[in-house]
Amino acid sequence: MPQTRTFPRICIALGLPDVPTLLEHARREAEAGEGFIEFRLDYLEAPCNGAEAIAEFLERFPDCLILATCRRRQNHGKFNGSVEEQLAVLDLAVRNGAQAIDIEIETAETAEERLNAFRGRAQIVISYHNYEATPPMDTILSRMLRVQADAYKVVTTARKPSDNVRVLAAVKSVAKDRLVVLAMGELGFPTRVLSPVFGGAFTYAAPMLAESTAAGQVSARSLRHLYRVERLKKAARIYGVIAEPVRHSISPAVHNRAFQSRRLDAVYLPFLVSPAHLRDFFLMADKLPLAGFSVTIPHKQKIIRYLDSVDPLARRIGAVNTVWRKAGKWRGTNTDAAGVTAPLGRLLRLPKSSVLIVGNGGAARGAACALYDAGAKITLVGRNPDRVRALAKVCGAEVLLREQISSHKFDAVVHATPLGMFPHVNECFFNGSIPASVVFDMVYNPVETELIKRAREQGRTIVPGLEMFIEQAVRQFEIWTGESAPRSVMEKAAMEALEQQK
DSSP string, 199-245: T-S-EEEB-SSS--SSTT--BHHIIIIIS-TTT--TT-EEEEEEESS
Choosing from 153, 160, 300, 377, which is the catalytic residue?
300
Asked whether residue 451 carries a pLDDT value surpassing 90, the answer given is: yes
- pLDDT of 65-123, one tens digit each? 999 999 999 999 999 999 999 999 999 999 999 999 999 999 999 999 999 999 999 99
pLDDT of the residue at 215: 72
Distances from the Cα of 98 to the Cα of 54, 80, 290, 464, angstroms: 7, 22, 39, 53
> Is 137 in a helix, a strand, or coil?
helix
- State how far the Cα of 11 lies from the Cα of 9, in Å rounded to an integer: 7
Domain 337-469, CATH: 3.40.50.720
377 is catalytic: no
Alpha-carbon distance 311 to 56, whole Å?
64
Domains 238-334 and 337-469 share a fold: yes
- Which pLDDT value is given to residue 210? 80
CA distance from start to end of the chain: 46
Cβ-based neighbours of 2, under 8 Å, separated by 6 or more? none
* Identity of residue 412: A
Q: What integer is the mean pLDDT of 254-266?
A: 98
Domain 238-334 superfamily per CATH: Leucine Dehydrogenase, chain A, domain 1 (3.40.50.10860)
Task: Please report, for the chain, the start and end positions of each structural domain, with discontinuous segments joined by +.
Answer: 10-234, 238-334, 337-469
| Pair 460, 481: CB distance under 8 Å | no
**Strands of the 10-14 sheet, one edge to the other:** 179-184, 151-157, 123-129, 100-104, 65-69, 36-40, 10-14, 203-205
| Strand 354-358 versus strand 377-381 pairing type | parallel
Fold of domain 10-234: TIM Barrel (3.20.20)
pLDDT of residue 1: 37
Report the alpha-carbon distance of residue 172 to residue 197 in Å, rounded: 12
pLDDT tens digits, one per residue of 167-225: 999 998 888 889 999 999 999 999 999 999 999 999 999 999 888 887 778 999 999 99
Q: What is the pLDDT of residue 3?
A: 43
What does pTM read for this prediction? 0.94
Q: What is the mean pLDDT of the segment spanning 139-146?
A: 96
